[in-house]
């Protein structure tokens, strides 16, 4: 090869000269794959209306992102699939019988107000799906609190029953709780299917075990300390969206601490708040508000948990 | 003490790409008809030429030296005639004077090249002098003068010597082949160091992707209980000296310190073999093993290369390029330097020449940081690469410094692992330069 040609061919750059094959898109794709079991479950339990809600939610999340990027004249990054993840999570947080426009509003709010107004992927300080859920609950409380059972009949969720003072006999059987054959948000009811997805995320090293395990563990311990009956404890862990929240939402990269110590503090905080809200607060579930509150605390937690440098001189 | 599965916290698992050359014996490179020997190829002061145009030189003859304390002389790698002094870029990007020698094809060896006597009869001073006069500088890439490290480490009163055979950079197999083919030289060099420091034990630490080298060293060490072979889990950057000391003896070099501050001495296995040759044969460092490899080459090889041979000569000997080359790297792919011409001469610190294909070298598209934390997990210095990099990109160097930018060892792990393909190492290295420049000014 002659000199002139070689000059054109050779790239000059700073080290490192090789990169892993990981990408944001691949990570998001893994999250989507991990949600597929629960997604299929929701369609099985609640019928085709669940599927429609999920699709509407995804389409409006992606559509909102394209729209806002065009408006702000920024690069469109929908290829990273993060809007798809947000869309699915929003649908997972809706009652199965919610009207389609609720999904549209929720997705638009999540993408535009919570994510893009703060600078887009990686820059938002609250989990978009959870913030959207909070906004929906505040705006349409009755729609967001009317759950249908898997047989299509409106009913209270198990945790709402517990909050209302019911004992174990009034609750669905534990096996139904575990499989997800109960009332609740579309994607939160099946502990089994969510745990399969969670295990996938752990195996693929997309998430770290600390946040979900410590979150759920802390919730259980604090509930016991607060005097919750051991019979009911299992309902608390399997129900109320705790597993969905702990594996899929508290682990959101952008809104949880980057440091190891920070992750632990964050998870303990989430667990503590969830248990407190359930026992002392006015709401039966509390997962979304706990995570949102800890999202807001994240920058402060990070500031106080800077890792010690290798060989730090004390 | 445990001597297997040793490791450190952080780092990354990289495809090691060593299959290209790990089973290929070291071949002698074709005799170069011309060599261009840089007068500055080590850390410290440059040498002044001791020869001029028209002089005839022999193999191993000293052709450059300096009076400075931190320096090593350079030697001719062939016999022939000096045809001039030329300014050229070294593989690490400095423009330096090079002695250009045309070969007479005879390879006549200089009279000074002769055995230095039995190790038992050598004093510490003599060992120092031999090492210096042989021009030995770290062959692992850093090219730090060995005798200078000897002196400062002796003053610090070190109690542990570790030979570094980790060779954690992908592609490279020069250390591997030397340990496998000449274990006795590696061991002899270590014995010289033990004698110099007055210690009765030493370690040779090797990553466990080179079990044949471990076996070969152990075989040669049968009946010798003073030298221990430690096996390390294969993980980048295990070969970085602070991570190595941490893995083998569990001591952490304090921030801003050197390995001698934790009473340890680390040098590369090939440096040890070079020291052995300097004593046994009186041979100065005028040739070294270089791994010439990569998908962009027809026939990758491990070559014994005379210092001053051009990169182009080596590539030609490996069958030439396979397709259009995209990048030529001197050193490893994680920390090496890209080359822009085939005329650049091989120096003492060049462990390998890697040719990447056009596709492999294609630039990656950067996207926003998603705060996944993978860079934090990977950083062997326990830093927050994303934060330091973000400050650096905004020219906020004081903030970068407050996040300990200076503790970055520029290993490349964070950039490698980042799913958003952010230029983390690159921007942190930039912040380090700015911070150091600022300090010098004030
Ligand atoms: S690895 Fe890249 S994307 Fe992940 S936190 Fe670090 S800089 Fe951000
Ligand atoms: S910040 Fe420096 S030391 Fe840490 S991984 Fe990146 S390059 Fe290596």
Least confident span in A32-36, A227-231, B16-20, B81-85: A227-231
Instruction: Check residues A222 and A232 and name the one with the higher pLDDT.
Output: A222
Say yes or no: CB of residue B331 within 6 Å of ligand 2.
Answer: no
Atom 4 of ligand 1, residue of closest alpha carbon: B372
Average pLDDT taken over every residue of chain A? 91
Say yes or no: CB of residue B372 within 6 Å of ligand 1.
Answer: yes
DSSP secondary structure string for all residues of B17-49: -GGGTTTSPPEEPPPPSEEEEES--SSSPPPEE
In the three-class reduction of DSSP (H, G, I as helix; E, B as strand; rest coil), residue A24 is classed as: helix
For B335, name the nearest residue in chain A, comparing CA atoms only. A15
Quick one: which of B34, B16, B1, B57 has its CA closest to B237? B16
Atom 5 of ligand 1, residue of closest alpha carbon: B371
Tens-place pLDDT, residues A19-49: 999 999 999 999 999 999 999 999 999 889 8
Where in the sequence of chain B do the CATH 3.40.50.11540 domains occur? 115-280
Question: Residue A1 above 60 pLDDT?
Answer: no
Task: Supply the pLDDT for residue A164.
Answer: 76
Say yes or no: CB of residue B386 within 6 Å of ligand 1.
Answer: yes
Rounded to 5 degrees, φ, ψ at A213 are -65, -45
Tens-place pLDDT, residues B120-131: 999 999 999 999
Residues of A in contact with B260 (CB under 8 A): none
Tens-place pLDDT, residues B314-342: 999 999 999 999 999 999 999 999 999 99
B56-57: strand order across its sheet: B34-38, B95-103, B80-89, B56-57
Mean of pLDDT values over B15-38: 96
What are the angstrom distances between the C-alpha of A296 and each of A240, A270, B390?
A: 22, 12, 21
Say yes or no: CB of residue B379 within 6 Å of ligand 2.
Answer: yes
Token pair, residue A184, equals 């609740």
Q: Are A19 and B376 in contact (CB < 8 Å)?
A: no
Q: Are B426 and A306 in contact (CB < 8 Å)?
A: no
Model confidence band, residue A183 (pLDDT cutoffs 50, 70, 90): confident
Q: Which residues pair with B353 in a beta bridge?
A: B292, B330
| Optimal mutation site among B242, B368, B383, B410, interface A, most CBs of chain A within 10 A | B368
Task: Supply the pLDDT for residue A158.
Answer: 81
Q: Is A262 on the interface with B (CB under 8 A)?
A: no
Model confidence band, residue B86 (pLDDT cutoffs 50, 70, 90): very high
Between 3.30.360.10, 3.30.1360.120, 3.40.50.11540, 3.40.50.300, what CATH number should domain B115-280 receive? 3.40.50.11540
Around A46, how many Cα atoms within 13 Å sit in the side-chain half-sphere?
32
Angle of CA points A179, A181, A184, to nearest 5°: 110
Question: Residue B442 above 90 pLDDT?
Answer: no
Model confidence band, residue B181 (pLDDT cutoffs 50, 70, 90): very high
Tens-place pLDDT, residues B278-302: 999 999 999 999 999 999 999 999 9
Model confidence band, residue A152 (pLDDT cutoffs 50, 70, 90): low
d(CA B79, CA B109): 7
Atom 2 of ligand 1, residue of closest alpha carbon: B418
Task: Supply the pLDDT for residue A283.
Answer: 78
Question: Residue A205 above 90 pLDDT?
Answer: yes
| Rg, Å, chain A Cα set | 21
Mean of pLDDT values over A262-271: 98
Question: Residue B76 above 70 pLDDT?
Answer: yes
Mean of pLDDT values over A239-265: 95
For residue B415, the CA-to-ligand 2 centroid distance in Å is 8
A85 within 8 A of A42, measured Cβ to Cβ: no
Q: Which of A1, A17, A311 sits opposite B321 (nearest CB)?
A: A1
d(CA B390, CA A13): 20
Q: Which ligand lies nearest to the CA atom of residue B412 in the structure?
A: 2
Quick one: which of B337, B318, B331, B328 has its CA closest to B360? B328
Task: Supply the pLDDT for residue B280.
Answer: 96
Residues of B in contact with A18 (CB under 8 A): 14, 170, 333-334, 360, 416
Question: Residue A4 above 70 pLDDT?
Answer: no
d(CA B143, CA B235): 23
Number of other CB atoms surrounding residue B203 within 10 Å: 23
A–B CB contacts, 8 A cutoff, strictly below: 153
Model confidence band, residue B142 (pLDDT cutoffs 50, 70, 90): confident
Atom 8 of ligand 2, residue of closest alpha carbon: B411
A65 within 8 A of A116, measured Cβ to Cβ: yes
Q: Which residues pair with B251 in a beta bridge?
A: none
Task: Supply the pLDDT for residue A3.
Answer: 61
Strand bridging mode B301-306 / B27-28: parallel
Q: B205 to chain A, minimum CA–CA distance in Å? A: 21
Q: Are B369 and A311 in contact (CB < 8 Å)?
A: no
**Chain A, 63-82: which have a CB under 8 Å from a chain B CB?**
77, 80, 82
Token pair, residue B398, equals 């004081």
Question: Residue B432 above 90 pLDDT?
Answer: yes
Q: Which is the closest atom of ligand 1 to the Cα of B389?
A: 7
- CA B59 from chain center: how many Å? 23
For A310, name the nearest residue in chain B, comparing CA atoms only. B381
Q: Are A313 and B425 in contact (CB < 8 Å)?
A: no
- CA B222 from chain center: how many Å? 29
Token pair, residue B232, equals 């390390």
Dihedral angle computed from the Cα positions of residues B267, B269, B274 and B278, in that order, rounded to the nearest 10 degrees:
70
Quick one: which of B344, B258, B332, B256 has its CA closest to B305? B344
Say yes or no: CB of residue B369 within 6 Å of ligand 1.
Answer: yes
Q: A5 to chain B, minimum CA–CA distance in Å? A: 9
Residues of B in contact with A13 (CB under 8 A): 327, 338, 363
Q: Is A11 on the interface with B (CB under 8 A)?
A: yes
d(CA A122, CA B386): 12
d(CA A126, CA A115): 8
Backbone CA torsion sign across B231, B236, B238, B240: positive
B121, burial (CB in 10 Å: exposed 0-12, middle 13-18, buried 19+): exposed
Quick one: which of B120, B263, B118, B267 has its CA closest to B203? B267
d(CA A95, CA A153): 12
Percent of chain A with pLDDT over 90: 68
Q: Domains in chain A, ordered, with CATH? A: 25-305 (1.10.3430)
Number of other CB atoms surrounding residue A158 within 10 Å: 25
d(CA B260, CA B308): 32
d(CA B76, CA B287): 10
B122 within 8 A of B90, measured Cβ to Cβ: no
For chain B, the farthest-separated pair of C-alpha atoms sits apart, in whole angstroms, at 64
Say yes or no: CB of residue B424 within 6 Å of ligand 2.
Answer: yes
For A119, name the nearest residue in chain B, comparing CA atoms only. B368
Q: B342 to chain A, minimum CA–CA distance in Å? A: 9
Task: Supply the pLDDT for residue A151.
Answer: 66
Mean of pLDDT values over A272-289: 89
């Amino acid at each position: 090869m002659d000199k002139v040609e070689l000059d054109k061919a050779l790239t000059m750059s700073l080290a490192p000269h090789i990169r892993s094959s990981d990408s944001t898109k691949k990570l998001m794709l893994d999250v989507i794959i991990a949600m597929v079991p629960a997604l299929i479950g929701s369609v099985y339990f609640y019928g085709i209306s669940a599927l429609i809600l999920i699709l509407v939610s995804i389409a409006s999340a992606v559509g909102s992102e394209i729209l806002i990027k065009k408006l702000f004249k920024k690069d469109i990054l929908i290829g990273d699939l993060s809007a798809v993840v947000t869309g699915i999570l929003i649908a997972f947080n809706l009652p199965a019988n919610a009207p389609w426009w609720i999904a549209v509003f929720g997705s638009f709010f999540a993408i535009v107000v919570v994510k893009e107004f703060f600078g887009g992927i990686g820059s938002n300080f609250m989990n978009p799906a959870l913030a959207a859920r909070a906004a929906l609950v505040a705006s349409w409380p009755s729609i967001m609190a009317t759950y249908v059972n898997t047989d299509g009949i409106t009913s209270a969720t198990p945790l709402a029953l517990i909050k209302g003072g019911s004992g174990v006999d009034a609750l669905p059987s534990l096996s139904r709780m575990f499989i997800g054959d109960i009332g609740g948000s579309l994607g939160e009811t099946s502990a089994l299917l969510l745990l399969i997805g969670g295990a996938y995320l752990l195996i693929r090293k997309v998430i770290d075990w600390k946040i979900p395990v410590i979150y759920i563990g802390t919730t259980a311990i604090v509930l016991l300390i607060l005097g919750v009956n051991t019979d009911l404890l299992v309902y608390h862990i399997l129900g109320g969206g705790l597993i969905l929240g702990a594996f899929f939402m508290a682990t959101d990269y952008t809104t949880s601490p980057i440091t190891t110590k920070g992750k632990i503090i964050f998870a303990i905080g989430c667990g503590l708040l969830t248990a407190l809200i359930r026992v002392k607060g006015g709401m039966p579930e509390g997962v979304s508000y706990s995570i949102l509150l800890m999202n807001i605390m994240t920058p402060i937690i990070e500031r106080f948990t800077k890792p010690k440098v290798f060989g730090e001189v004390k | 003490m445990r001597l297997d599965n040793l490791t450190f916290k952080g780092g990354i698992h990289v495809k090691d790409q060593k299959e290209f050359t790990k089973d290929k014996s070291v071949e002698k490179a074709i005799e170069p008809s011309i060599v261009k020997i840089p007068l500055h190829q080590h850390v410290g002061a440059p040498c002044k030429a001791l020869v001029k145009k028209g002089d005839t030189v022999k193999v191993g003859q000293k052709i450059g030296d300096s009076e400075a304390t931190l320096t090593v002389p350079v030697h001719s790698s062939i016999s022939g005639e000096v045809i001039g002094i030329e300014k050229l870029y070294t593989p690490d990007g400095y423009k330096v004077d090079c002695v250009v020698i045309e070969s007479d094809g005879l390879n006549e060896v200089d009279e000074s090249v002769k055995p230095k006597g039995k190790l038992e009869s050598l004093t510490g001073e003599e060992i120092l002098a031999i090492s210096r006069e042989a021009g030995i500088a770290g062959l692992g890439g850093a090219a730090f003068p060995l005798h200078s490290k000897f002196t400062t480490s002796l003053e610090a009163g070190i109690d542990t010597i570790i030979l570094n055979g980790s060779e954690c950079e992908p592609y490279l197999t020069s250390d591997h082949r030397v340990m496998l083919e000449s274990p006795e030289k590696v061991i002899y060099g270590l014995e010289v160091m033990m004698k110099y420091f007055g210690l009765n034990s030493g370690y040779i630490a090797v990553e466990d992707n080179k079990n044949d080298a471990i076996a070969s060293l152990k075989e040669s060490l049968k009946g010798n209980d003073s030298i221990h072979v430690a096996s390390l889990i294969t993980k980048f950057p295990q070969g970085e000296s602070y991570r190595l000391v941490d893995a083998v003896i569990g001591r952490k070099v304090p921030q801003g310190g050197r390995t001698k501050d934790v009473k340890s001495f680390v040098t590369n296995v090939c440096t040890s073999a070079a020291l052995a040759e300097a004593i046994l044969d009186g041979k100065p460092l005028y040739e070294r093993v270089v791994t010439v490899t990569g998908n962009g080459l027809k026939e990758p090889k491990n070559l014994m290369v005379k210092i001053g041979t051009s990169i182009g000569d080596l590539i030609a000997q490996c069958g030439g390029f396979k397709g259009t080359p995209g990048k030529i790297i001197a050193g490893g792919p994680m920390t090496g330097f890209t080359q822009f011409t085939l005329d650049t001469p091989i120096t003492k610190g060049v462990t390998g020449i890697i040719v990447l294909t056009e596709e492999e070298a294609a630039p990656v598209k950067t996207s926003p940081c998603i705060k996944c934390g993978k860079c934090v997990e990977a950083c062997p210095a326990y830093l927050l690469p994303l934060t330091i990099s973000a400050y650096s990109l905004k020219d906020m160097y004081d903030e970068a410094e407050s996040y300990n930018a200076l503790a970055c060892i520029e290993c490349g792990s964070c950039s490698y692992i980042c799913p958003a393909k952010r230029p983390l190492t690159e921007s942190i290295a930039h912040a380090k330069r700015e911070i150091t420049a600022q300090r010098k000014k004030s």
